[in-house]
Structure 1
Amino acid sequence: MKRLKMTRVKNDKTFKSGFKEFISNCKVKNLREATINHYEISYKQIIKYLDENIEISDINKNTFEKFIVNVKEYSNANSQTLHTYSRDLKTIFHFFMDQEYMQRFKIILPKVDKYPIEAYTDEELEKLLKKPNIRKCEFTEYRNYVMTAFFLSTGIRLTSLINIKIKDVSLSQDIVNIMHTKNRKALTIPLNNQIVKIIKEYLNYRQYKDDGDYLFCNIYGKQLTKSSITQALLSYNRSRGVEHTGIHRLRHTFAKKWILAGNSVVSLQRILGHSNLQMTQNYINILVSDLKKDVDNYNILQEFNKSFIKLSNKNKGENYNGKNQVESI
C-alpha cells in the first residue's frame, strides 16, 4: 500500500470559480445588495490586471504585488481607485484563505494620497439655501432645495437620505431616525429648529399617501435613486450659479462648519455615524488644509500689525549701513 505523506492536496479552483463562491457567501451573510453589486463591478476591473483563470492555490504575496504594479502601469487609476481595487481583492483573498484554498500571507494595501477636501464656500451656500418662490417653482426645484438644506443640517450619506421615510422623522421631538446606515446600525440625529420648519412646510406639498412613503421622492411620488439625486442636485446647483457640486461635498461642508463652530468631535462622530473616533479624526485631518484658508482669512497678527509694527519707508527700509531697519512706534 502507498503510504500517505504530509503533502497538501492541491485544489483546481480558479480565481473565477472562487469568486462565484465568494459572492454566494456574501448573499448567505445577507450583505446589502449594493455591497454585492460593488464587488461584482470591482471584479470586472480586477481581472483586467489579474488572470481570472489562475489557480487559487498558486496565489501568493507576489501575485498581489504584481497586481498592484499592473494597475499602476497599465491604467490611469488614481491612488484611491487603486486602494479600492486592492482592498476588494484582499477581502476576496481572505475568503479563499478561510476556506483553506490558498496559503495565508500578510496583505498590505497601497496608501491613498490625501488631498484637502473642498467644501462649499459661504457664497455658494447662500445661493444654494435661498428658498425658491413656492408659487412659481416646480416641485423638483423645491424638493432639491429642501434636500440640500437637509444634507447640510444632518451631514448624512446619500444612501441614508434615499431611504428615509416620513415616519422616520419626528417633528414633535425634532429628530430623524436613520434606519439605513453604512454599518447597519440605526442612528438618531437631532434636527435644528430651522430644518424642522422647512420639513413641516415641505410635507404640505409632498402629497404623500401615508407615513410609510419616502420623505424625498420623484415627481411621481416614488423613491429616488442615487443617480437621480446626483443629477437633480447637479442641475439645481448650476441653476443657482454654483458650478462645483457633489453630494459628499455637502457632508464635508457640514463637518467643516461643525468644527469651525467649536463643537464636540465626539458629537460629530455620532452624527456622522462613524464606528470609532479615529474615523472621525481622519475625516478632520483631511480638512486641515481647507481649514488653513479660514485661518489665513482671520489672521489676528495681520489685523493688529499696522497698529503696532510698520516698516520704515525711508531709503526703502535700509539704514546708513545698508541693513534693513525696523521702526517701532
Structure 2
Amino acid sequence: MSENSKKGRGRRVNLASAGGGKSPVQYPAESLDLDAAITSFIRYCRIRNLTQDTLNFYRDTLLELTRQLQKQNVERPIDIVKDTIMVALETKRSTPIKRGKAETPADATMDKLTRSWRAFFNWMHSESFVEINPFVGLGKAKSERSIIETFSNAQMKSLLNAPNRSTFTGLRDYTIMLTLLDTGIRISELEGISLHHVNWSDRTVKVYGKGRKERLVPISRALEKALRNYTEVRGVLDCDSLFVNIDNNTFKVRGIQQAIKLYGQDARIKGVRVSPHTFRHTFAKMYIMNGGDAFSLQKILGHTSLDIVRMYVNLFGTDISEKHDRHSPLENL
C-alpha cells in the first residue's frame, strides 16, 4: 500500500455521498448545527435512561457552550477545534459573575462545564459527526482545594434551638436538621424519603441517591425517637412524603434550603454557609473525629469512590487542635 493511500485513510464523516467523492460531502445536521447536535445528544442521554437532573445538567452547561461559541462566531460543530474550546474556557473563567460584587466562576463551576463539554464532544466524535475531537490532549484543569466548612458544636446547638417546636413547621424543621446531622444525606435524598422508607425495627432509612442508586442509611436511637415524635404530630395524610409543608404536600428542596438559611440568620451564625450541604460536611467531620472509618463513611454518604472520603479523613482524622496543645513548642518551653 502506498504512502498516499495510507494518508487518505483518515476518519470519515458518518454520511456517504454517491459517487465516492465526486459529489460534495453531505454533512448530517449535527455536524453543521450546534442546536441540532445538542438536541440529539440529549435524546441519546434520555435513551440511556439518565436522570432528569443529569439531563438538566447537560442542557444548562451546553447552553453555556453555545454562548461562548457565539462570542467567537463559531456556529458549526465541524469548525470547533482545541483552540476554540480553550478560548471558551478562558473567557468563561475571566468573566465576572453578576452576584453582588464581581467574582470569577468557582473551580467547581469550571469543572462542571469541562466535564459536560468533554462528554458531548466524545459522543460527537464517536458518532462521526466531527472528525476531530477538540478535547483530545486537553487535560483536566488544576483546582484549588479549599478548607471544607463545617458547623462547630456551639453553632449546631444554636441552629437546633432556633425552630419553634410548639408549631408543626418548627418541629418539622428541627427534625429535618436532626436527620441531616445524623445521616449526612443529601438534601434531594431527604426530600425523596417516604414514610415507608423508614424501617423502625432496623433503624435504617432507604434513600435514593445520584444515578437512581438506593442505599440504606442507619439512624441513631436519638433520631428514631425524634422521627417517631414528628410522625405522630404529622399524622396520617394522603401524601406519603415523610416531610411535608403546611399544605400537606412534599416539602421541596428549595423550601428546606430557605428554612435552614433563615434559622441560620436567627441563630446569628457567622463564618460558615448555613445550608443542608454544610450539615453533610459536619456529619462526615464528626463521624471521622468520633472514630468512624472511611469505608463505612463512604457507604453512608453514597460516594462511588473513596477520593472525597479520604479528604475528610485527611482533614479530620485527628484532632489537630488537641495535638497542637500537647506538642506545641511554645507550650513546652
Instruction: Please tell me the TM-score bracket, short chain as reference.
Output: 0.7 to 0.9
1:235 to 258, 262, 275: 262
Paired residue type of 1:193: R
SS of the equivalent of 2:304 reads: coil
Q: How does 1:1-329 map to 2 (within 5 A)?
A: 4=20, 10-11=27-28, 12-51=31-70, 54-75=75-96, 76-102=104-130, 103-104=132-133, 105-130=136-161, 134=165, 137-178=166-207, 180-209=208-237, 213-243=240-270, 244-285=273-314, 288=315, 294-301=319-326, 310=333
Deviations 1:77-116 (A, max 9, x none): 2222111112111121112112111123344232222100
SS of the equivalent of 2:32 reads: coil
The answer as to whether partners of 2:180 and 2:279 remain within 8 angstroms in 1 is yes
How far is the alpha carbon of 1:150 from its aligned partner? 0.2
What is the aligned-residue identity percentage?
A: 25
Paired residue type of 1:119: T
Please name the residue that 2:4 is paired with.
none
**Bigger Rg over Cα:** 1
Q: How far apart in 1 are the matches of 2:164 and 2:245?
A: 19
SS of the equivalent of 1:215 reads: coil
Paired residue type of 1:4: G
The answer as to whether partners of 1:80 and 1:113 remain within 8 angstroms in 2 is no
How far is the alpha carbon of 1:132 from its aligned partner? 5.5
User: Unaligned 5+ residue runs, structure 2?
Assistant: 1-17, 97-103
Q: Aligned pair in 2 of structure 1 residues 280, 301: CA closer, same or farther (>3 Å)?
A: closer
The farther-off stretch of 8-17 and 74-83 is 8-17
**TM-score, with length taken from structure 2:** 0.81
User: Unaligned 5+ residue runs, structure 1?
Assistant: 311-329
The farther-off stretch of 150-159 and 48-57 is 48-57
SS of the equivalent of 2:291 reads: coil
**TM-score, with length taken from structure 1:** 0.82
Q: How far apart in 1 are the matches of 2:35 and 2:177?
A: 43
Question: How well do the aligned residues superpose, as a CA RMSD in angstroms?
Answer: 2.7
The answer as to whether partners of 1:165 and 1:215 remain within 8 angstroms in 2 is yes
Please name the residue that 1:325 is paired with.
none
The answer as to whether partners of 2:162 and 2:263 remain within 8 angstroms in 1 is no
Paired residue type of 2:324: N
SS of the equivalent of 2:206 reads: strand
How far is the alpha carbon of 1:14 from its aligned partner? 2.0
How far is the alpha carbon of 1:265 from its aligned partner? 0.6
Q: How far apart in 2 are the matches of 1:145 and 1:226?
A: 16
The answer as to whether partners of 2:51 and 2:212 remain within 8 angstroms in 1 is no
Please name the residue that 1:326 is paired with.
none
